[in-house]
Structure formats: C-alpha cells, structure tokens
Amino acid sequence: MLVCLSANHRSAGFSLLERFSAVSVPSLEALIRVSAETAGGVVLSTCNRFEVYLDVESEAHFERFLPALAATLDSSVDDLRACTTVHLEQDVPRHLFAVSSGLESVALGEEEIAGQVNRALEGARDAHLTTSDLERLFQSAATTSKGVKAHAHLASQGRSLVSLALDLAGSQVLDWSRAQVVLIGTGTYAGASLKALQDRGVGRVGVHSPSGREHTLGERYEIADIEAARLPEWLSSADLVITCTNTETYVLGYDSVRNARLAPGSSERLLIVDMGMPRNVDPIVGKLDSVDLLDIETVRQHAPLEDLGATELARCIVARAAAKFEEERREHESARALAQFRGVVQSRVSHEIEKTGAEDKLAAAMRRLGNALLHPTTMRVKELTRAGRTEEVIAALNLLYGDGEPVPSRVDERGAAAASDALAAAAGEAERAPASCPFAGMLAATTAPRGTTALYSACSAACRSDQACRVR
C-alpha cells in the first residue's frame, strides 16, 4: 500500500520544517533502504514541504517504521504525529497530484514544485528505492501537473515563492532597473529567481556560488560571476540580496554583512531575502541598522488567499486523475490472481489436447473455446476490480483456482469497501447532479466512457449542491 507522511506550511511551523530540511535526503533514503518494513520510498523536501512517500505491505508496517523515521528526524513519534498528516491508499495520489500541480503551495500554481517532485523521483531511482507503484504514482503526478498547467492556467493566477517575496520587496526597491542585486546560489531555484528579477527589469545582477562549483547561470542570463574575494564589495553596494542555496551553515553572518554596510560607498539601505531552507542568513542580521531581512516564514504569511474560481478546474482535473490512478491500481492488484486463473484454465486445455492427441485444427478449436470461456470471467474480474472489490476477486480466484499459495494483495479492505460504497451511491446521485458537472452528461449517455462512474464518484459530493463542479 502507498503511504505519505506530510509536513508542510499548513501543518507545521517554520522552525520545525527548517529542522526537518536539515536532515539530509541520503540519510533518509538509507533508512528506507535498510528497513524491513518498507519496499521503497521517495523523499520530497522543499522550502515549505517535507514529505516521505512509502510503499509498504500494510498500515501496520508503516507504524513499525515510524519510530525509526522519528529518530532520524530528531523527533519523538508523538511530536511527529502532531505536526504531520498521514495519507493512506487512495488519498496518496489525490494529495501528490494536488502538490505537484501547485494547489498546495504557498504561491498557488507555482511551477517550481513540479520540477521538485520530478527530482525527488529521480533521486529515489538513483538510490534504487522506487517500486512499480511509486513509479506509476510519480509519473502520473507529472502527467497531471502538465494537464493542470495546460487547461487550468493556474500559473497566470499564482506566483512563485520568490515572486511573492519580490512583490513584498517592491515597497523598498522603487526602481528595479537601477537596483543592484546579489544572488547567492546557483541551483534550480536560483534560475527561477533570476527570471523573476528579469521580469521586473533588473539591470545589474551578480551571482555567487558558496560552494565554488562551476555553473552556467552567467552564460544563460548574462550576469556577473562573483568570486568569494569580491563578495564583500558587491554586498556593500547592493540594494537587494537573495539567498537560495542548500547549506547547513549560514552563508551570510552578522559580521560579514555589518562590515559590508560600514564600507565607504555602501547603498543607503539593504534588503536581504532569505529563500533558503534551512536558513541561509543568520536571523540576527536583521537587527543591523539599514538592513531588512525577509525570510520564507514572512513571505508565506503574506501569501494571497486562494482564488476559488481559479482552482475549480484544477481540482477537478486532479480528482479525475486520482480516480483513474486508483482504478488502474486495483486492476494491477488483481492482475496476478487473474494470470494464475488463466494459467490454470490454459493448462487444463493443453492437458486435454495432449491426452486426446487432437489434430491441429481440433487443438486450435479447443484453445479458442478455452479463451472464449476465459473472456467473460476476465471482464467481470476487471469490472469488480474497478468497483473496489479487489479483495473479494482475489479471494474467489484463490478459492476456486489457487494452487495452495495465496496470491498476496496489498489492498486495504477499508479502502476497498469505502470505494465500493461510493460507487454504489454514484448511480443514484447522477440523476441529482447539476447539468454543469463534467461527468453528468457522460453518465447519461447510452455507453459511458470507461471509468466514468469512478470519475463521477470522485466529485459527486460537491456536485450535489453546487452549480458547478467543485472538488475540494
């Protein structure tokens, strides 16, 4: 089963997220690798989100893994439960698809999160921690985020986190074209920061790599490359400094900023935007005269409220994608039992052909008959699986055609029962759905598209009362 443990800007404070982000992803991946409770896992760690996606045999296995995870995060199990949300089974794709689409971000519709989700999957692949279920989950998340971007146009409504920070900085930087900016960091987020600066018409930008590693930002964006020896000079004349690097130590301390401010010819006032997680700048720097420090916690407190109209279509797309993923997952769960059933029937047909010494034409006819007998059962198995009755299907096939070895299943019975109940109710609810629901017309058709009932179930509760399809 799939499990997600999530700590984000809604469930956890900034200091806690900062502490979690200080734990290296490789150390968490090593924990997942050696644990007997997990088959695989993906760690997603961003400036406003810490999430661990796991593939486990059962919820009990996850509970046994939790103490080791808490210890690695330097937390107690109780404290970890208090600041996180645990998503199980069908809630996992619904959550991840919303996350990757920017629906759960501080800046609604931010595009950076999709890349961060993809890189989390790539990291898990490199660590050999992905499973078939995790691969399908994250690949489906990538597809869903592209669909949201193409059809819901959330990016035009929302902003990236750095854009929100620059909006707040606008009260101090009156003329962006004359501002001198220092960017500390050369990663993916630095590129997003540069784009946001250029969109505002910033003329002079210098970039500094704390690690000293080579980068191509200067070539791509025609900006100055600041060596360590020249950083104090740039800091003294800068109007704005943006830090966005991954480091366990401060890249800007009290003394370095103080000395830069005391240098002759320093700018009248300096704004420092700390986008690092953990922090890149010592908080005491903000106490210096003529220095203002803006961090992620402050930025997210000023984030605009969600535009319900802008997110309506996006959430509907996410709900449909999650329902489709769940349908395919159930089919995958029953595939092994179905293959075993087909193997038994085909083996018996082959045995009869061999025993009777049937000629080629007769043997071919017997095989066609066997396949014809298999077909209705196969279709019925798929139908029941899509309806959330996978456990019943596997149990029935094991009982009738098993070889004594039960076919393992990781479907949560409560999840299957809940899905079955929801689908059973969907037929009656279809008549009460408003005409604007995207699934109502499909259900009324003589031949509804495959999976329509399951998709309708995903948003039927909201459609019962609203004039438009709103999936929350």
Of 47, 437, 459, 469, which is the active-site residue? 47
Secondary structure of the chain as H, E, C letters: CEEEEEEECCCCCHHHHHHHHCCCHHHHHHHHHHCCCEEEEEEEEECCEEEEEEEECCHHHHHHHHHHHHHHCCCCHHHHHHHCEEEECCHHHHHHHHHHCCCCCCCCCCCHHHHHHHHHHHHHHHCCCCCHHHHHHHHHHHHHHHHHHHHCCHHHCCCCHHHHHHHHHCCCCCCHHHCEEEEECCCHHHHHHHHHHHHCCCCEEEEECCCCCCCCHHHHHCCEEECHHHHHHHHHHCCEEEECCCCCCCCECHHHHHHHHHCCCCCCCEEEEECCCCCCECHHHHHCCCEEEEEHHHHHHCCCCCCHHHHHHHHHHHHHHHHHHHHHHHHHHHHHHHHHHHHHHHHHHHHHHHHHCCCHHHHHHHHHHHHHHHHHHHHHHHHHHHCCCHHHHHHHHHHHHCCCCCCCCCCCHHHHHHHHHHHHHHHHHHCCCCCCCCCHHHHHCCCCCCCHHHHHHHHHHHHCCCCCCCCC
Q: Annotated catalytic, 469?
A: no
Catalytic residue annotation: 47
